[in-house]
Amino acid sequence: MVDVERIDGGPRSAVVVGAGIVGLSTAWFLQERGVEVTVVDRTGVAAGASWGNAGWIAPGLTIPLNEPSVLRYGLRSLLSPTAPLHIPLTFDPGLWGFLARFAAHCRWSSWTEAVRANVPLNDECAEAFDVLTANGVDATVVDGPITAAFATPKHAQGLLRELSRMAAAGQPVDHVELDVDRLREHVPLASSALTAGVRVDGQRHIDPGAFVRALGRAVVARGATIRVFEAADVRTYSKGVTVHPRSGKAVAADVAVVATGAWLSRLATRWGVRVPVRAGRGYSFTVPVDRPVPGPVYLPDVRVACTPYRGALRVAGTMEFRDPDAPGVPARLEAIIASARPLLDGVRWDERTDVWVGPRPVTSDGRPLIGAVRAPGVYVAGGHGMWGLAHGPVTGRLLAEQITTGKQPQALRPFDPLR
């Protein structure tokens, strides 16, 4: 274990359930505070949304999903299986109950509350990544803007209004409007269909799978054990907690952190967590390009994110409310390609590789669940939606502080799991 002094009175050991960016960050910062850690995951490090996402560390674009226009758009999407936001017409009482609660929060007051709650996480998210990379996490973080590209200047007004609302709610975002010539400088792949842009400055991007695997190696190098099994139950007793697989020996520790992403509600509801978490599944793939890609590109009109990735382009998109373990739907992938193909030139769409589908954990009120639950010694961390990568390290840092000191940081109060 890393040679640091444990906080007096705090736990000596912890088991973290979930080896994505949130779970591993929590494990790392617990180790920093002298806690011995075991990590449990049903498939291993970076197997879920932490691998296949767009890799953006973009506090300037942490725009909550629950704005009023999304509700109207979601109702229209029921009639279109290729829409960027897709809600399948299936009999699923849990999904429809979640969507009813989500719809109730699709109002500007809830949206503003979510923006304000995210401000402390956004302010510290870059520093949390810097702490990790300066202390043994051997991975590259690239600084640079994200360029949003639009068919016309009029289309850009939607994002500009959102950024203005973000600023009014306490989250100013540095950005610059781009004409067609400046857009081409930032996005050499832009086709003639794109004539305007917005450059969002002060952002970062990473290879998400490589970063999370490096984080996992660092946690192991500091003394952690990673065990591969599905946690079927977490039980409390007088001396701590035990995490149980479906069969075999349980893992015991002083405390447990459940960071299982889109599967969080399967365990958390028994501990008084009333805010549900559902899978908002995204798809991604990698395609070769004929020209260099200097930085990430956002296509808001079709809800597609593109990121330089190992000399090629990672393309990610869609929000599909479906069971997290359901197989991918080829039509969803083809819809992303069909929507982005007219907007980008020099992309070899038919040579795609690394096709992936994975579940983003989405809450009904647009805020993640971070902190203690009713079961003594049990904590949860999840429900970050599309921003789990950006907010993973700072979430781990703040939650480790709460676990070892017994005091809830001010920044975590809006994310109390028992709200």
pLDDT tens figures, 74-125:
656 655 666 677 777 677 888 889 988 998 999 999 999 999 999 999 999 9
H helices of 134-207, where?
A: 153-168, 180-186
Question: Residue 87: its pLDDT value, please?
Answer: 73
The fraction of the chain above a pLDDT of 70, given in percent, is 94
The answer, yes or no, to whether residue 25 has pLDDT greater than 50, is yes
Residue 193 structural domain: 13-415
The gap between the terminal CA atoms of the chain, to the nearest Å, is: 35
Question: Residue 49: its pLDDT value, please?
Answer: 76
133-159: average pLDDT: 97
In 238-303, where do the E strands start and end?
240-245, 251-253, 255-258, 277-287, 297-299
Band (pLDDT 50/70/90 cuts) for residue 3 is: very low
6 inside domain? no
28-41: average pLDDT: 98
Position 82, amino acid: T
83 inside domain? yes
- What is the distance, to the nearest Å, from the Cα of residue 388 to the centroid of all Cα atoms in its chain? 2
128 inside domain? yes
pLDDT tens figures, 353-408:
999 999 999 999 999 999 999 999 999 999 999 999 999 999 999 999 999 999 99
233 inside domain? yes
Q: Whole-model pTM?
A: 0.93
Question: Residue 2: its pLDDT value, please?
Answer: 41
8 inside domain? no
The answer, yes or no, to whether residue 127 has pLDDT greater than 50, is yes
Query: CATH number for the domain including 135?
Result: 3.50.50.60
319 inside domain? yes
Question: Residue 5: its pLDDT value, please?
Answer: 43
Question: Residue 11: its pLDDT value, please?
Answer: 97
Question: Residue 185: its pLDDT value, please?
Answer: 94
3 inside domain? no
7 inside domain? no
Six-digit token pair at 55? 């890799």
The answer, yes or no, to whether residue 164 has pLDDT greater than 80, is yes
Total domains, the chain:
1
* Mean pLDDT estimate for the chain: 93
